[in-house]
Structure 1
Amino acid sequence: MSLSLEASPLVRQAQTAAALAAAAARIRVVDESDLDRLRDVEALLIRVWGTSPHGAPIPTDLLRSISHAGCNVTAAYSENGTLCGAAAAIVSPGNSAMYSLIAGVLPGLADNGVGFALKQHQRSWALTRGIETMTWTFDPLVSRNARFNLTKLGAHAAEYLENFYGLMDDEINAEDQSDRLVAVWPLTSRESVACSEGSPLATVLPDFGPASGRGTGPDGHPNVVLDGDSLWCRVPTDIVALRGRDPVQAASWRASVREIFTAEFARGRSATGVTRDGWYRLTTGGPQ
């Protein structure tokens, strides 16, 4: 896959945004291909995601193959050279899009900007190669990740995949069904450019009264609100903890959110943002 000889203004913008994100997180972000360091990447992904009967989330030999094929393995290193984050992505046929397989940040660094810097590096990597879209899947019940994807990066989602990977038996998913939303990240959009420069569009739940409510969640509190053309849907603030504390209620949330998203996507809505307390904004006509 050849690189552009002359970078366009948008490519230069992405490269600058990626560099600034890495500097803000006080890390160095690179494309990784060294075998020993890929072993470190495998170990980091195990620390983040745990293992299943199949082993590591992505083993070293597969990471090596992804890199050798000209696809993307990104690694983030702290100022003292410690690996603190990693991501891997492949390129779809025709180089039309990039598909993110996995991304993870060392436990305890989730709020330090490492994940944001990883994704901005991937955005720059893609645009440099003429790729303008990145996609991946994520659990709609993990509100923290959802907010990162849809609000902080500027992606959107309009496809719900029921039990996409089958029953999950790794340490994080704890025998839960693997429903996923498909994140679509248009790397050249106004929203994505603004997000890359640290200015995401605000996602704020409007004040609402009883007349706006359209549903109640498994915890007995409102979880669906209609406000003009936007529908708001709430998910748990920490589904991982809830799975351990009350797996029955966690399963009820899965069924409830599945029903809502499937119905609203069929009506033409898209998920275009998430608040800090786990409310999705579902709109018609794409990102607002």
Structure 2
Amino acid sequence: MRFQVISDVPGIARVAGYYAEVWETTEDVLSTETLHCVRHAGGATIGAFDGDELVGATTGLFCPDGSVYSMIAAARTGVGYPLKLAQKKWAVELGARSMRWTYDPLVSRNARFNLVKLGAVVTEYTVDFYGPMRDGVNDGDESDRLTVRWDLTGSREAHESVPSGEITSMAPDGEPLARTDGERIWCRVPRDVVQVRKESAELAKQWRQAVRGVFVDAFEQGYVATSMSREGWYELERKKEAAQKEAAQKEAAR
């Protein structure tokens, strides 16, 4: 497996086509022209190659505060983690200390990758981030997104805990949606929301609205999301407690 920054016209066009294929659309997800503009502005598209086959790609750009905004990422199974590390290496070598990106809160596998595998933290929930989307993966659904922040200067160990405490709301499938022990909040999402969408757009919409209600309320109270269990439960902690835990882990690692 090799990773390289792509800057030539055919290479960038190939990545644009790859993004469209992953998102099951004939329209541009990010056009060749847009990817060239990102490169020209100091950002980069990094491709993952297995021999000559393109098996993953990610595109990021620098923000005024010196952080990197990762606009998009897609990869074959098993390629996502080393691809993200390659993007981190590129960013750190240019002086970045953190990276941000968004993802669909209902996609539990992405949540687990971001929060547990990488150790990022969810800092923001935005309702209908993109507005209507017309690709084959998201068509017909509202585009709510969580923003994650990945600290590139150290590592955060994401723990896993069993949801406990009082049930505060029920999910569309009739099982508990949210619990709290007074300090932490747990919120459950579907195991496979893509399959839920295929079977019932109405049920997927109900899940979207239910999870939105929990997150928006929790973030207004000063929570951030710090973990995701294998069973599909987010764990949310108060910002101060999460920050103190991260600082303690950094100190212990010195």
Work out whether the TM-score is over 0.5: yes
Q: 2:25 aligns with which of 51, 56, 61?
A: 51
Q: 2 CA distance for matches of 1:188 and 1:228? A: 32
The match for 1:152 is 117
**TM-score w.r.t. length of structure 1:** 0.80
Give the letter for the 2:158 counterpart: L
SS at match of 2:72: strand
Offset of 1:235 from its aligned partner? Answer: 0.4
SS at match of 1:169: coil
Offset of 1:212 from its aligned partner? Answer: 2.9
Offset of 1:228 from its aligned partner? Answer: 5.8
- The answer on whether the counterparts of 2:158 and 2:226 sit within 8 Å (CA) in structure 1 is no
Give the letter for the 1:260 counterpart: V
- The answer on whether the counterparts of 2:69 and 2:101 sit within 8 Å (CA) in structure 1 is yes
Q: 2 CA distance for matches of 1:244 and 1:142? A: 14
The match for 1:98 is 68
Offset of 1:148 from its aligned partner? Answer: 0.9
Alignment of 1:119-130 (within 5 A): 119-130=84-95
The match for 1:32 is 6
The match for 1:286 is 242
The match for 1:18 is none
| Alpha-carbon displacement from aligned partner over 1:85-105 (angstroms, at most 9, x marks no partner) | 0000111125x2111110011
The number of equivalent residue pairs is 242
SS at match of 2:140: coil
- The answer on whether the counterparts of 1:98 and 1:133 sit within 8 Å (CA) in structure 2 is yes
Q: 1 CA distance for matches of 2:125 and 2:176? A: 22
- The answer on whether the counterparts of 2:107 and 2:193 sit within 8 Å (CA) in structure 1 is yes
Does residue 209 of structure 2 align to residue 238 of structure 1?
A: no
SS at match of 2:242: coil
| Alpha-carbon displacement from aligned partner over 1:178-202 (angstroms, at most 9, x marks no partner) | 11111111111331xxxxxxxx533
The match for 1:197 is none
Give the letter for the 1:188 counterpart: T
Q: Which blocks of at least 5 consecutive residues in structure 2 are unaligned?
A: 246-254
Offset of 1:169 from its aligned partner? Answer: 1.5
The match for 1:85 is 56
- The answer on whether the counterparts of 1:174 and 1:243 sit within 8 Å (CA) in structure 2 is no
SS at match of 2:55: strand
Greater RCO (CA < 8 Å, at least 6 residues apart): 1
Q: 1 CA distance for matches of 2:22 and 2:161? A: 30
Give the letter for the 1:214 counterpart: T
Alignment of 1:1-288 (within 5 A): 27-51=1-25, 55-78=27-50, 80-94=51-65, 96-105=66-75, 109-110=76-77, 112=78, 114-191=79-156, 200-206=157-163, 208=164, 212-227=166-181, 229-284=183-238, 285-286=241-242, 288=245
| Alpha-carbon displacement from aligned partner over 1:213-242 (angstroms, at most 9, x marks no partner) | 222100000121224622110001111111
The structure-2 alpha-carbon separation of the partners of 1:228 and 1:259, relative to structure 1 and needing over 3 Å to count, comes to closer
What percent identity do the matched residue pairs reach? 39
Offset of 1:205 from its aligned partner? Answer: 2.2
Q: 1 CA distance for matches of 2:154 and 2:189? A: 27
**TM-score w.r.t. length of structure 2:** 0.90
- The answer on whether the counterparts of 1:33 and 1:68 sit within 8 Å (CA) in structure 2 is no
RMSD: 1.6
Q: 1 CA distance for matches of 2:193 and 2:224? A: 22
Offset of 1:33 from its aligned partner? Answer: 0.8
Q: Which blocks of at least 5 consecutive residues in structure 1 are unaligned?
A: 1-26, 192-199
- The answer on whether the counterparts of 2:115 and 2:158 sit within 8 Å (CA) in structure 1 is no
- The answer on whether the counterparts of 2:46 and 2:87 sit within 8 Å (CA) in structure 1 is yes
SS at match of 2:80: helix
